[in-house]
Amino acid sequence: MNIPEMSAFPKGNANEAFARFFTEQSYLNILSADQVVIGNVTFEPKCCNNWHIHHADKGGGQILLVTAGEGWHQQWGKPARKLKAGNIVHIPAEIKHWHGSAADSWFQHLAVEVPGENCKTEWCEMVSEEEYK
């Protein structure tokens, strides 16, 4: 599967700034930094980010709008959810989670950062092979 053929949003450049928080190569294209931050994130097959938490004193969190491919999202203590184009994932602040591509598919989503007060992301441990499967 070739992402440029699947999505209206270009994959952007290699996500070097956050590479240490991803298992394989990801790409980042910031679509908006005004009003609401929206990043187009593209994952090569079998790529996922570490467990992480979007902290906020008020508001905050993240919304994922899946635009192409197949992937996964999992909240701590819950089963993983299979994702495909058209799915929307609401991630409240303070919820530990991860997201990434399926083993055999590229995956792309728009990551919308929900405005809030004192927002920051805490990056945690890598997703284990057992959790990913």
For the chain, the C-alpha Rg in angstroms (whole number) is 14
Q: In the prediction, which pLDDT does 13 show?
A: 95
Give the number of C-alpha atoms closer than 13 A to the C-alpha of residue 24, restricted to the C-beta side. 15
What's phi and psi for 5, nearest 5 deg?
A: -80, -15
pLDDT at residue number 3: 61
Mean pLDDT by 10 residues, the chain (133 residues): 69 94 96 95 97 98 97 97 97 98 96 97 96 89
Burial degree of 120 (CB within 10 A; 0-12, 13-18, 19+): exposed
What's the pLDDT score for residue 126? 97
The H or E element that residue 131 is part of is helix 129-132
- C-beta separation of 37 from 47 below 8 A: no
Which pLDDT does position 115 carry in this prediction? Answer: 96
CB-based contact 25:13 (threshold 8 Å)? no
Q: Quick check: helix, strand or coil at residue 4?
A: helix
pLDDT score for 133: 83
Query: For residue 41, what pLDDT is reported?
Result: 97
Phi, psi of 130, rounded to the nearest 5 degrees: -65, -45
